[in-house]
Amino acid sequence: MKKRVLFLCTANSCRSQMAEGIANHFWGDKFEAYSAGTQASFVNPMAIEVMKAIGIDISGHRSKNLSEFDGQNFDYVITLCGDANETCPLYIGGTKKTHIGFDDPAKATGSAEEILKEFRRVRDEIKEKLGDFFET
């Protein structure tokens, strides 16, 4: 039986969406990943673009509020930003949360290429840190 993991971030637009896609793509045989935000918004087009570049399609994802998962149980709840770590409940679905923080690529400034570079950096960091987490 697959373990269920919920990734949380503030807007559920970049980091948590990328984490959900990465987890389901690389560790989908062992884990079933979902994502949500403390304040749902939209899936950032640059997150979609950098994920597509590594063969992961998140274009069908939508931003979800944490309340959509009320009453559901998860084996892991992982916050990816400081705000979600501070504002979400300590226990969700009976599971204690873990925090693995990442910079917010949506706050990057500069040219389109510089911003994409930051999205790629964060995507790669998410993949690396989740690999460490899931494979231990």
pLDDT at 104: 92
Count of domains observed in the chain:
1
The residue range of the domain holding 96 is: 3-134
List the catalytic residue out of 8, 81, 100, 122.
81
pLDDT at 29: 96
pLDDT at 81: 82
pLDDT at 91: 53
pLDDT at 135: 87
Among 102, 96, 98, which residue's Cα sits nearest to residue 120?
102
CATH number of 45's domain:
3.40.50.2300
pLDDT at 90: 54
> What is the Cα–Cα distance from 121 to 112, expressed in whole angstroms?
14
pTM, to two decimals: 0.92
Catalytic status, residue 81: yes
List the catalytic residue out of 46, 88, 92, 126.
88
Burial 8-18 (b: 16+ CB within 10 A, else e): bbbbbbbbbbb
pLDDT at 92: 60
pLDDT at 84: 56
List the catalytic residue out of 5, 6, 9, 77.
9
3 state DSSP class of 29: coil
Catalytic status, residue 9: yes
> What is the Cα–Cα distance from 73 to 87, expressed in whole angstroms?
19
Q: Which residues of the chain have pLDDT under 70?
A: 82-94, 96
pLDDT at 45: 97
